[in-house]
Every structure is written in C-alpha cells, then in structure tokens.
Structure 1
C-alpha cells in the first residue's frame, strides 16, 4: 500500500510504526507532511524511516491512502489545499475528532471516498480501541482496508456514523477517566501507608489484569466482581461504599456529558 499522512504528530507516528511492524507496508513507502516550522515532528518521522514533505499536495501525488491526521480546526484549510489533487482512486481517512464525513465530502471532489475513524491514545502502544464509519462513496472493501490498518495498533470495529460521538465519549475520552480512577486508587494506597511507586504499580497492573479477565474469560463483569466478593468481606464492603456514593452513576453521567459535547461540537 502507498500510504500518506497529512500531519505527522504523535498519533501519526504511532500509526506509521504499527502499519510497518505489522507488515502492511514498508516504511520507505510512506510519505508524511508537516509545516516547515514543525521541525520536531519532521525529525521524529524521519527517524522512524519514512519520508517527509512540507507540501500536502505531494502526499496526494504519492499515495493511494491518505490519512488526515491534523487538528480539527485546520481540516477545512487542509482540504482546500489538497482538493484539486484528490481523485476517485484515493481513500481519504480522517482521524480528526468532530468532523463528519459529509463535511469532508463537501470540500472534496464529488466522487471522493471518505472514511471517518475515531482512535484513542493507546494506539501509541498498540493497544488502541478504534471505530470507523464509511462515507457516502466508500465501499465495504475500503472498510476492510481501514480495519486492517487500525487493527495493527489495537482493535477496530465498524459503527454507523451516528454512534461515533458515543464512541468518542466512551473509548476516545475513556483513557482520561481510567487515569483518574488509577490515580485515585494509588492515592488511596498512599493514604494507607504504601509508597507512591508501589501504589501506582499495583493500581496499573490491577486495571490491566481485570480488563484482560473480562476479554479472555468472556464472563460478565458482574460475575467477575462477584467472584471477588466474599460474604461480609472487605471487597463487598468496598462495593457498598462505591454504590452508596454513586460510582457507577457518576461514570455513566460522565460518558453522557462527553457524548453531548461531542454532538454539539461536531461539524
């Protein structure tokens, strides 16, 4: 595959590493663009082994698959810059949060193929959770390509575009909720006399282990929770405290708020 990136920040660099380590393409066949003043990302991308350019149009000339990896506010400017170079052969993949497929399609030639992807930051360590939706002209085969690409850095599932905002709130924003939960668990350990280093280590590995139990056993989380809760034991008493203080409601409300903000900000 001839793959190009418009934008070469951390997520783009992570995707390049994932695609090439999975054998999807050779790193030398990837071209990434960034502004001249963005020295850091130019150097970091070159260190990975792929080529860089200052001109977005060069990416279109070089690539069959073009990944828009720029901040949402500058997407219209970028699309205006490249529109005349986009052809029906190009598969345009946008990872810009909050930009609808039809908003992108309006700024490109009529037959342009667009796929919208919502990854999350753990793609940086190949543990991402991504979803995608097909634009008006994109075909199932295009979705298959996107799935193959993003499964090289985690999991990837197709969803209708009207669910992208909920996915953004759950998996896109989700790492932040998890970091807050992990930090609180570690603080609790420190409060009880554990060292900060030990508390963070125990909390992080507990979250990893619990998540893997859900994925690998296929058991309902409630059943796994019950397995830990002995009658009158410390865990069931802790569960009571969490329920009394609205732990689940707070999390569900947080995802709901994030979904509404995503919907409101969507362009």
Structure 2
C-alpha cells in the first residue's frame, strides 16, 4: 500500500534526510554524529527493517520506511539508493521537492545532476558526490560536482557533510565525475587486487600465507601513509627506494616490461566508460 504524502513543512537547514540506510549512509551518519550533529536532526528512510533498526538503535536517529516521511521538513536530502532505483525514488519525492526546495546530494554512481533535477521536478540545487569504500572507516575521499543552482553556502554544506568520512575534491566539469569514479570510487578494489597478487607471490616464494599477508598489509599501509604524509610525489618516493641494480629495480623493470602503466590506464579508461554507460542507461 502506498504511503500518503506528508504535509509539506518549512524545511530546517540543520535537518538531513538520508534516503537509503546502507553502509555508506551509516558511515556518514556515524561521522556526522561524531562531529556533533544532533541525532534528532538526522532522518533516515530505509525500507529494510534489518538495516533500519540498527541505525535507530546505534545512533538514535529518526527512522522510517517511507522516503517522503523522512524527507518532510529536511533542508538537505542525501540520496543513498542504488542507481537502478533512483528514478523511481525521485519520482515519488518530486512534489515534496518542489514544495520544500531542499539541497539534494546524491552518492549514486553514473546518475547526473541534470537527471536528478529533472526527476525531482526541476530548479533544485543538486550536488553529485562520489565517496569510496574507505569512508566506512572514516578515511575515504569524495569527488563533488554542483549544478549551477547550488550557491556557495550550499556547496560548503555539501562538502561539510561528506567530510564526515574524509576529505573532498571539487570537480568543475561533471563529465569528469566518471573519471573520479574510476580512480577513487573503484580504486580500493585495485589495491585489494594488488594485495591478493603480492600475497600469492609471497607464498609462491616460500612464505607462509600468514607471513605473506602480514607483510603485504603493513607494506601497503606504510606506503599509503608515506604518500599522504610526505610532500614528495609518488614518482620521487618510488625512485628513492629503487637502488640501481638492486632488488626493487629488478621488480620495477619487470612491471614496466609487462606494460603495467598501460594496463592501469586501460583499466581506468574502462571503468570511466562504464560510468558513462550507466548514466546513458538512465536517460
């Protein structure tokens, strides 16, 4: 049975409605509350009881199974549903969106600000965001793009919300958001694949699985820490640990001879193109 539309209320800029209560929404909610956001100012719409109840229990936020119920009165809507159902969700919220004129933020891959604005009735400030899975631990990064109707204060509001799980980077050309998805959105999987390959190679060279896993994990953590904490770019750091004629040089030369750089470029190009296809499929 469809839920009746709630009466429009004057939206509160401090109130955030999460439409969807999955892992990324949960991470953002936890990060916001840790930064001082009042639980009562966070509304969550999640139809799956097994996701909804823990959110209410763990964070004390207001939860409902209806998107319109949670969105009513909220000055910011964060759309955290899968791209495949985004059009349907927006259609159900369009009349409320036109009445309240919220700031809309979407974390769905491949859905453009123009599509979101059109599905919600038009004329709205819309920010497209692409966080990545390390946000689940508070160490993610998010690419952001705002449509022309989004003013400076709304941009700051969107950035502050996403910074609850890590730094943000603004992208001026929305067509480049597919590249953001390919580099950082999908990027953790590339690192996990490298870790898998390194661990297997270590075992092949006689290490125990436990030893190989520990060595790879801490090596990747250490390298990532150096990349983020030191001022030198990646090529300088690589050169610093690559002694002429040494073991590292032997490995690097093997990578290069195998077309490592070209393979990475083609992989990211393929991910970027897939993002464009997802967007086109929703037109």
User: What TM-score, normalized to structure 1?
Assistant: 0.95
Residue-by-residue CA offset, 1:30-55 (whole Å, 9 max, x unaligned): 110112xx121112211222121011
Q: Which residue of 1 aligns with 2:249?
A: 236
Structure 2 counterpart of 1:41: 51
Question: What whole-Å deviation, never above 9, does each CA across 1:40-77 have from its counterpart, x for those lacking one?
Answer: 11122112221210111112213111100000111111
* Structure 1 residue runs of 4 or more that deviate by more than 2 Å after TM superposition: none
User: Residue in 2 aligned with 1:120?
Assistant: 132
Partner of 1:172: 185
1:70 aligns with 2:114: no
2:187 is aligned with 1:149: no
Contact 1:59 1:66 (C-alpha < 8 Å) held by counterparts: no
Do structure 1's residue 224 and structure 2's residue 237 form an aligned pair? yes
8 Å contact from structure 1 (residues 190, 199) kept in 2 = yes
Partner residue in 1 for 2:201: 188
Check conservation: 1:118, 1:130, Cα contact below 8 A: yes
Q: Tell me the SS of whatever aligns to 1:97.
A: coil
- Of the candidates 101, 104, 111, which is equivalent to residue 92 of structure 1? 104
Select the residue among 60, 65, 78 that pairs with 1:54.
65
Query: In the alignment, what sits opposite 1:29?
Result: 41
Query: How many Å apart are 1:204 and its aligned residue?
Result: 1.8
For structure 2, the residue ranges without an aligned partner over 5 or more in a row are: 1-13
Q: Please state if 1:204 is matched with 2:214.
A: no
**Distance in 2 of aligned mates of 1:111 and 1:257:** 33
CA distance change for structure 1 residues 88 and 184 in 2, over 3 Å: closer, same or farther?
same
When normalised by structure 2's length, the TM-score is 0.89
Alignment of 1:105-116 (within 5 A): 105-116=117-128
Return the offset for 1:149: 1.3
- Report SS of the residue matched to 2:217: helix
Asked if the contact 1:132–1:156 (Cα under 8 Å) also holds between the matched residues in 2, the reply is yes
CA contact (8 A) 1:88 1:113 kept: no
Residue matched to 1:137: 149
**Cα deviation 1:153-199 (Å, max 9, x = unaligned):** 01111102121000000001111111000111111111122222222
